[in-house]
């Protein structure tokens, strides 16, 4: 950062102090096992979007990256309009005279983003407390955000495991229901064939002897009586259940997908 013409986009009177604060924070967090990386160290965001700018540096704790912006506070004073401004505003209705003037101060502010906030997301110099006195809180905030991220990661892993267990149970139940439905359809088809065989058998036993008339009646019944089985000769047969496809199981899965949890 020191090699930048204007490190962090700060004015010269505060550059050295800002770099020492960053060095102290990075040293403390790296001793705790949290690596750091530089960001856009030579830029300063405009005041209206300074909290949305790219980070100056980052520190990562247990997989959670915390981004840092180092900002220079502004002092606000009442603006005293000049004669030129008054004249231009009187001449042109779209010109407005600003109410305040802003000048850079020597106060600094650290803005943190990323992860779950605990203590705060911003630390700044105040009349009763400097940033140097708050560095331990900032370092602790990074650790807390890393621990929260790790707990969240473990919770998500456990939630995914439980979801897969429920999905596998639903798949097992769907296979059972699919097999039962397949057997029902098979037995219904056998029952239809069985009743048809009864009709043909009864007709064979009681139909008139006229060959031409008998042939017409058999055609009307939809089959030949020759070799027609008797019901007692064809007991129900258990079917071989084919391996179900994904779409075969879908009607029995409710809100689950057959392709995974």
Q: For residue 60, what are the domain limits?
A: 7-155
pLDDT of residue 210: 53
Last residue of a domain, one of 102, 122, 155: 155
Same domain (yes/no): 118, 92: yes
Same domain membership, residue 84 and residue 199: no
Task: Give dist(CA 212, CA 206) in Å, integer.
Answer: 15
Residues 178 and 244: beta-carbon distance below 8 Å: yes
- Residues 212, 116 share a domain: no
Dump pLDDT digits (tens) for 140-155: 999 999 999 999 999 9
Q: Sheet containing 36-38: give its strands across.
A: 36-38, 57-61, 64-78, 100-113, 122-124
In a domain, 61, yes or no: yes
User: Are residues 128 and 182 both part of a single domain?
Assistant: no
> Is 25 domain-assigned?
yes
Residue 82 has what pLDDT?
Answer: 85
Q: Is the dihedral of CA 33, 37, 42, 48 positive or negative?
A: negative
Whether residue 161 is contained in a domain is answered as no
The Cα–Cα gap between 82 and 76 comes to 18
Q: Which residue among 122, 155, 188 closes a domain?
A: 155
Measured distance between the N- and C-terminal CA atoms of the chain, rounded to whole angstroms: 48
| Count of structural domains within the chain | 2
**pLDDT the model gives residue 219:** 58
Is 14 strand, coil or helix? helix
Q: Rounded mean pLDDT of 72-93?
A: 85
**Model pLDDT for residues 210-251, shown as the tens digit of each residue:** 555 555 555 555 554 454 455 555 566 778 889 999 999 999
């Amino acid at each position: 950062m020191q090699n930048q013409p204007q490190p962090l986009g700060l004015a010269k009177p505060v550059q050295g102090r800002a770099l020492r604060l960053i060095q102290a924070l990075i040293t403390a967090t790296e001793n705790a096992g949290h690596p750091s990386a530089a960001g856009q160290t030579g830029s300063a965001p405009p005041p209206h979007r300074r909290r949305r700018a790219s980070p100056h540096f980052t520190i990562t704790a247990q997989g959670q990256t915390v981004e840092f912006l180092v900002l220079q506070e502004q002092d606000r004073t009442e603006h005293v309009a000049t004669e030129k401004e008054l004249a231009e505003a009187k001449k042109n209705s779209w010109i407005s005279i600003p109410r305040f003037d802003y000048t850079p101060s020597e106060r600094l502010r650290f803005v943190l983003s990323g992860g779950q906030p605990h203590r705060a997301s911003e630390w700044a110099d105040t009349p009763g407390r400097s940033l140097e006195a708050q560095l331990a809180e900032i370092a602790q905030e990074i650790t807390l955000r890393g621990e929260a991220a790790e707990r969240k990661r473990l919770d998500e892993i456990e939630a995914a495991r439980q979801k897969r267990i429920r999905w596998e149970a639903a798949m097992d139940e769907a296979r059972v229901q699919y097999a039962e439905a397949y057997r029902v359809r098979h037995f219904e088809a056998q029952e239809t064939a069985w009743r048809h065989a009864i009709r043909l058998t009864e007709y064979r036993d009681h139909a008139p002897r006229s060959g031409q008339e008998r042939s017409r009646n058999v055609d009307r019944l939809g089959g030949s009586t020759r070799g027609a089985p008797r019901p007692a000769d064809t007991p129900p047969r258990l079917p071989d259940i084919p391996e179900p496809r994904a779409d075969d199981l879908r009607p029995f899965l409710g809100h689950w997908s057959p392709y995974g949890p």
